[in-house]
Amino acid sequence: MRKMNNRKLTFLLITIPILALFFCFNTLPLIKGVIYSFTNYKGYGAYDWVGIRNYVDLFQDVRVGKSYLFTFKLAIVTTIVVNIISLLLALGLNSKIKGKSALRGLYFIPKILGALVVGYIFNYFFTYILPVIAKALTGNGASMLSSTKWAWVAIMIVCAWQAIAMNTIIYISGLQTVPEDVYEAGAIDGATGFQKFKSLTFPLILPFFTINMVLCMKDFLMVFDQIMSLTKGGPAQSTESISYLIYNNGMSGGQFGFQSANAVIFFIVIVFISVFQMNFLGKKEEQL
């Protein structure tokens, strides 16, 4: 009995100070931010209370609405693309290949560069190189970044290019938790190829799939650096992500109060989505 209490006490002593730290530098400023969302604060100087005006405006603001549509479209497509490619890549990098660690290292390089830097590099690619290739192939040499129809695809490519690296690593570490004897048993049963993956490997790495899905979705819903370095929200405001609007109009512009309201709503939306994702995938995990 004493042992159990001891264990409980240790856990509490670990948890309480860390929770306090977290509260001070995450929740407390968040509460202040929520308070600002009821004002017309510019970020400095004097301000007035405006009640729920910011929230009323938010739901009537076409620009905010468009940014939600764009962000969700981008996040969903990118999450799917990234997870498919990185899972394939992880399977490849985890199989019996030559130069395994060198290849793993090289495939990780995209992640090492900062997102802004990657954006600048791809800017060159999309502006000068891709149009020439496209012209040779299809006869149409317009830049993807200048087209309201295609700019989001360019952003998707850049986001994916960079995110695949980390997801692959997480999948590889997942694949390595799969004990060798599972395959041995599978081999005896005659399982091969895709069948082996579907019925043996995938269920075992499902927790990693959950983590990747949630992290990916969250990262892309909060996409910011890539927008800053590639399009700055253009062309024709077609690639303004929610984070871009919040930062650009809230910090650089004088809409701090209004964008705080936007951030509050955005926060609630993302939490809702992620909880849904985790519950859904968690249930799947338990079923297996």
Residues of span 169-188 touching other proteins by CB under 8 A: 169-170, 172-173, 176-177, 180-181, 183-184, 187-188
What would the DSSP string read from start to end of 107-167? HHHHHHS-HHHHHHHHHHIIIIIHHHHHHHHHS----GGG-TTTHHHHHHHHHHHHHHHHH
CA angle 70, 73, 76 (to 5 degrees): 140
Amino acid (1-letter code) at residue 137: L
CB of 34 vs other proteins, minimal distance in Å? 8
CB of 253 vs other proteins, minimal distance in Å? 3
Interaction between residue 109 and other proteins (CB under 8 A): yes
Amino acid (1-letter code) at residue 69: L
| 35: Cα separation from own chain's centroid | 27
Contact 244, 263 (CB under 8 A): no
Interaction between residue 95 and other proteins (CB under 8 A): yes
CB of 157 vs other proteins, minimal distance in Å? 10
In the beta sheet, which residues pair with residue 39?
49
State which of residues 271, 276, 279, 284 lies at the interface with other proteins (CB under 8 A).
Answer: 271
Interaction between residue 260 and other proteins (CB under 8 A): yes
- # binding residues, other proteins (CB under 8 A): 124
Q: Please identify, among the stretches 7-15, 67-75, 76-84, 194-202, the one whose residues bind other proteins according to the rule CB under 8 A.
A: 7-15
Residues 6+ apart with CB under 8 A from 150: 144
CB of 73 vs other proteins, minimal distance in Å? 19
Contact 171, 208 (CB under 8 A): yes
Interaction between residue 106 and other proteins (CB under 8 A): yes
CB of 56 vs other proteins, minimal distance in Å? 12
Quickly count: other Cβ atoms within 10 Å of residue 246's Cβ.
Answer: 23
Q: State which residue, 139 or 180, has the beta carbon closest to other proteins.
A: 180
| Three-state SS annotation for 56-97 | HHHHHCHHHHHHHHHHHHHHHHHHHHHHHHHHHHHHHHHCCC
Q: State which residue, 23 or 80, has the beta carbon closest to other proteins.
A: 23
Quickly count: other Cβ atoms within 10 Å of residue 54's Cβ.
Answer: 23
Residues 6+ apart with CB under 8 A from 264: 33, 34, 37
Q: Please identify, among the stretches 72-80, 124-132, 195-203, the one whose residues bind other proteins according to the rule CB under 8 A.
A: 124-132
- The token duo for 52 is 């729920």
Residue 79, helix vs strand vs coil: helix
Interaction between residue 19 and other proteins (CB under 8 A): yes
State which of residues 38, 79, 86, 107 lies at the interface with other proteins (CB under 8 A).
Answer: 107
State which of residues 77, 81, 103, 134 lies at the interface with other proteins (CB under 8 A).
Answer: 103
Interaction between residue 52 and other proteins (CB under 8 A): no
Interaction between residue 84 and other proteins (CB under 8 A): no
Q: Please identify, among the stretches 70-78, 114-122, 191-199, the one whose residues bind other proteins according to the rule CB under 8 A.
A: 114-122
Interaction between residue 82 and other proteins (CB under 8 A): no
Interaction between residue 65 and other proteins (CB under 8 A): no
Interaction between residue 167 and other proteins (CB under 8 A): no
Residues 6+ apart with CB under 8 A from 87: 167, 171, 209
State which of residues 68, 125, 150, 197 lies at the interface with other proteins (CB under 8 A).
Answer: 125
